[in-house]
Structure 1
């Protein structure tokens, strides 16, 4: 059986040449700005069931932008390279068990750390994520201590995030901590989403916040409805376009590697698909892209979220799916470059 990489390589070689972007679209951000046009990149997210072909299609889509001379950055969530991502990875591989609300907040925090700021305390014993409209989440993570910072003495009083530090921090330690934190931020592969978009770089994202909402809601935990799952995502950069690669869960199961991770169960995938199709139908009830007879999920989908969701049939050939994705993406890029979607990316509401 051919691997995903083999299919992607073959599709790139055999597919027809992509439609050229207009001159206005191929100019650099600086030239676009001087010409009075927008200079930001387009934020595109590919969603879908596990094994629906997202990784292959992101690779093909990236190639289109490279050939057009457009700056492009690929991101994937969860980002398993971070301390939070490593905890998520252990959960998905069933190495550890976590309560539904806890793992949901970890998934959300993983997106927030790529979107805005990762804050590390000067003691580096606790990792704090601050999410707007949500509570402070703290995780005991001694393994994220930057090299060069001494461990706190056992004789020192315990640190509380809700009270002032019991003693004045060493200024030299603060300076060194800030230097190491800044260095870590600069080296992160998942550089801040908002900054990349503002610089004119298009972001192609393999999963984002809607996956977090759909997968958690699909667990059918009575205390974790869609409204609860959506709350910590509010304020994240909102994609200009979300493409849901629609594939029957039975077809996904037949593909190689299905079942390797926790969520790769046919019943779970079927519920996730129902939720996504419901969100797509709500996003644009009159669009032909959502004309599929999407079944109503057990719980109503979020209303008025302003998501730009398009359903793409992922059961076709790799080449046909890639062509349909490019047609949708190119049209949205033209809108962004024309200023129709605003000079800056929106936020999740």
Structure 2
């Protein structure tokens, strides 16, 4: 069986950049043995619905939003299992951890949120790229990104960041300060996964 490495953090924390760097590095080292998945996956029907509520085009209550986010991962369960069974290492750019921390910030119950992904493949390593909401916001503005529903409130993002850091203590998640340079962060990720 392969392994699952999860990269998590606020938006603009560097997850996509680091996931791509890690995929390229490991794929060079172990050709054909690495897969990369990103969530939400907007290419599916459920993903399209998630994009719609994030863009403010449709309104749902918090429970529905988080059920849709979970369902989006369930859509990819068989793909993930296939990769694992063939011995591949999987890099996940976000996973169920996002649903927990954002759901808690939305006032939802931890146990209820936890049940949504019960039965999905478990990760081997979780790495949180920790960035302040202020830096997340400034990176968005600098790159002309349109802020989605979860990114607009700095107070909300402060809660999300707090949840990441608190759950990291009890769930054995690795936390990296992601306001450092991309190279420094990447070397730290390699060290965590034992590839240095």
Aligned to 1:94, the other structure's residue is in SS state coil
1:269 to 157, 167, 187: 157
In the TM superposition, what are the counterparts of 1:8-157 in structure 2 within 5 Å? 40-70=1-31, 71-116=33-78
Note if 1:215 corresponds to 2:84: no
Aligned to 1:255, the other structure's residue is in SS state helix
CA distance in 2, matches of 1:104, 1:59: 26
Deviations along 1:75-98, one digit per CA (max 9) or x if unpaired, are 000111111110001011111111
Note if 1:233 corresponds to 2:156: no
Q: Is the 8 A contact 1:84 1:110 kept in 2?
A: yes
Unpaired runs of 5+ residues, structure 2, are none
In the TM superposition, what are the counterparts of 1:149-188 in structure 2 within 5 Å? none
Q: Is the 8 A contact 1:252 1:258 kept in 2?
A: no
Q: Is the 8 A contact 1:50 1:258 kept in 2?
A: no
If the length of structure 1 is used for normalisation, what is the TM-score?
Answer: 0.53
Q: Rg bigger for which structure? A: 1
Aligned to 1:195, the other structure's residue is in SS state helix
Equivalent residue for 1:322?
186
Aligned to 1:84, the other structure's residue is in SS state helix
| TM-aligned CA deviation for residue 69 of structure 1 | 2.4
Please report the RMSD computed on the Cα atoms of aligned residues, expressed in angstroms. 1.5
Equivalent residue for 1:203?
90
Aligned to 1:74, the other structure's residue is in SS state strand
CA distance in 1, matches of 2:136, 2:20: 19
Deviations along 1:204-252, one digit per CA (max 9) or x if unpaired, are 11100010111111012xxx21111111111111111010001111111
In the TM superposition, what are the counterparts of 1:294-333 in structure 2 within 5 Å? 309-330=173-194
If the length of structure 2 is used for normalisation, what is the TM-score?
Answer: 0.92
Q: Is the 8 A contact 1:78 1:110 kept in 2?
A: yes
| TM-aligned CA deviation for residue 259 of structure 1 | 5.3
Unpaired runs of 5+ residues, structure 1, are 1-39, 117-191, 285-308, 335-349
